Amino acid sequence: MSTFLLLVGAVVGIAYLFRHIVVKGKQCNSKARLVGKTVIVTGSNTGIGKSTAIDLAKRGARVILACRSVQRGQAALEEVKRESGSNQVVFMPLDLGSLKSVCSFAENFLKSEPRLDILINNAGIFVQGRTEDGLGMMFGVNHIGHFLLTNLLLDRLKECGPSRVVSVSSAGHNFGKINFDCLNTHKALGIGTSSMDVFQFYCDSKLCNVLFTHELAKRLKGTKATCYSLHPGAINTELARNTSSVLQMLLKPMTVFFWKNTVQGSQTTLHCALQEGIEPLNGRYFSNCTVRELYAKAKDDAAAKKLWELSERLCGLA
């Protein structure tokens, strides 16, 4: 019995160390104050987006919560104000699955806000379907919506430099691929509906985020704006809320023991948004508050340029 108890104790101890040392990860060390600065955080009504918004508001930034759901956005607005102690927090509706909504958001923002110092493309979904514009849902929301938003706000970002664009990707991009034939034919990353198909298309959309940042960095050369993409870690958020109940049940133990909470998960986003001196790393990819090397497909100049030009056509910029 004593041997069994010792074994159980050892397992619990290892799990504790893994949870608090390996899983927790590094913290953003920047002490930057953001009084007089304006930040947009998409998808900031929940998860790491909300934790990011709270941190930035505590630093004195004027924070724009850009969210699809008015009800959830208003609730998040009150929570972010309460947790940060700041009244410089505003909710503005934004549906990244609607090109019309993205254009309306950008127009309203540019009319009402004189500055934009940091744009955090945080929102993401894990669900198959179609946007109102006929795009594949994950391609449309995770990539095209943010692509259009960034381009519509780019002049303001350049005017307010030094400024930054931070795009939340995922290590899943390593499993991604870009099927340009499918994009041209179906305006989607793929057309399957199985669980494995959905996972693949999610990874594909995250590869789009990294390639978008790679190409954007080239286009920002000579300006005071820089951009970064990142993997936040495995986070216990609502990202999988649209998956099957069986899958959610199977994932539950992992979320408790091996996944970061939202505050821990927001640290690399904050690092990319705030850390002093990373401007020479324009266009690079970060994980655990550290710059990382990418596989060749994630920094392919030709693929990044091709995706950019296709994205311009699909959202009406070309």
Question: What are the residue numbers of the active site?
Answer: 202
Cα–chain-centroid distance for residue 29?
20
Q: Render the burial of 264-301: b for 16+ CB within 10 Å, e for the rest.
A: bbbbbbbbbbbbeebeeebbbbbbbbeeeebeeebbbe
* Spatial separation of the C-alpha atoms in residues 177 and 286, rounded to whole Å: 20
Largest interatomic CA distance in the chain: 72
Q: Nearest Cα to 229, choosing from 188, 172, 170? A: 170
* Spatial separation of the C-alpha atoms in residues 91 and 74, rounded to whole Å: 7
Q: What is the DSSP string of 9-70?
A: HHHHHHHHHIIIIIIT----------TT-EEEEETTTSHHHHHHHHHHHHTT-EEEEEES-H
Q: Nearest Cα to 37, choosing from 150, 115, 121? A: 115
Pairing of β 89-93 and β 163-168: unpaired
List the 89-93 sheet strands across, edge first. Answer: 89-93, 62-67, 38-42, 118-121, 163-168, 225-231, 285-287, 290-292
φ, ψ for residue 43, nearest 5 deg: 60, 35
* Spatial separation of the C-alpha atoms in residues 161 and 158, rounded to whole Å: 5
Count Cα atoms within 13 angstroms, Cβ side, for 45. 16
